[in-house]
Structure 1
Amino acid sequence: MGLHQGPDPYDRQLCQGSLQRPGEDIHPPRPRGSGDRLRHPRRERGSVTLAVVRVRGIINVKNDIRDTLTMLGLGRVNHCVLIDETPQYMGMVRKVRDYVTYGPIDAETAALLLKERGRLEGRKPLDESIIKEMGEFKSFDDMGKAIAEGQLNWS
């Protein structure tokens, strides 16, 4: 009955400009677009190598998810692949995000992964002598650093 006291004086001000009511929180608007402005300057697209590890099996999985895991080279649980951060790969990773874990790889981890699990064609183990024969790198550490920085594509 007598609860309504007429128009709120703040309503007129809110309509006229971008004012807010006293006590309301101000949330800065999110930038529109691809979000490139939010990225770290060193992390240009494709310049970071990601390690993707499969953590789940394929029981009751849709065929398109199974195919995407196969295209990524993740045929079995606990397998790891190194990929570039390109839109194509990131779309595939987003599609299978419930079955994998991923993140940027550092130079030490890349070197350790190469030393322990690195293989050449024919499943021949990778060792220091083969790296030196390639000519570009002197050790696993140099090669791991190049992979982590996205300068070398290892597949």
Structure 2
Amino acid sequence: MYLVIRVRGTTGVIQGIADTLDMLRLNRISHAVLVEENPSYEGMLQKAKDYITWGEIDAEFVAAMIAKRGRLPGNVKVTDEYVAENTDYDNIEELAKDVVESKVKLADVGIKPVFRLHPPRKGYEDIRLSVKEGGSLGYRGEEIKDLGKRML
């Protein structure tokens, strides 16, 4: 499972890349989504690599993100009580484990698929360079958790 975060804005975006960002539901800066690791999504990530950053995440981080920034329709926070009453899971940690294993999607249990994060503490690195060049864009691997924690 990948966590994908939009880093750059909409000014001057080529139409094909803008459509890809819309399909990923990344409409604003600092929005994040969870996507599966499959060739279709990996092609979309490569196409939009100049506007996003992504990497692999674990169930522990997904649970923290759902608890802190997860929302239901009506901008209501997700709680353990909601998860226990409205799903087959007892708490957010169990739900996060199955989300990472792609057994269930957030939308299937009523949680909005887009996480509206804060801008990162201490800011982004250069937003015009890739991670390999010392910037913020592109594939990060496990380092996405560090950026995600700064944005929660």
Common fold by TM > 0.5: yes
Tell me how far apart the structure 2 counterparts of residues 122 and 111 of structure 1 sit (CA, whole Å).
21
Any idea what the Cα deviations from partners look like across 1:76-133, whole Å, max 9, x if unmatched? 1111001112222221111001111111111111001100111123332211111001
CA distance in 2, matches of 1:56, 1:66: 12
Name the structure 1 match of 2:27.
Answer: 75
Tell me how large the CA RMSD over aligned residues is: 1.4
Give the 4+ runs in structure 1 shifted more than 6 A: none
Q: Percent identity over the alignment?
A: 37
| Residue among 87, 104, 109 paired with 1:152 | 104
SS at match of 2:71: coil
| Aligned mates of 1:148, 1:98 — CA distance in 2 | 25
Alpha-carbon separation, structure 2, partners of 1:115 and 1:108? 11
Cα distance in 1 for partners of 2:57, 2:64 equals 11
Higher relative contact order (CA 8 A, sep 6+): 2
**In proportion to residue count, which structure has more strand?**
2
Which residue of structure 2 lines up, in the alignment, with residue 123 of structure 1? Answer: 75
Secondary structure at the residue paired with 1:111?
A: helix
Partner of 2:137: none
- Aligned-partner residue type, residue 117 of structure 1: R
Deviation at 1:134, TM superposition (A): 2.4
Q: Is there any run of 5+ residues in structure 2 with no aligned partner, and where?
A: 107-112, 114-152
Which residue does the alignment assign to 1:4?
Answer: none
Alignment-derived partner of residue 50 in structure 1: 2
Structure 2 counterpart of 1:63: 15
TM-score, reference length from structure 1: 0.64
Partner of 2:95: 143
Change (3 A) 1:135 1:60: closer
Residue 139 (structure 1) shift: 1.2
**Secondary structure at 1:122 match in 2:** coil
TM-score (norm 2): 0.65
- What is the aligned residue count? 107
Match for residue 92 of structure 1 among 25, 44, 64: 44
Q: How does 1:13-28 map to 2 (within 5 A)?
A: none
Any idea what SS the aligned residue of 1:61 has?
Answer: coil
Specify the structure having the higher radius of gyration (Cα): 1
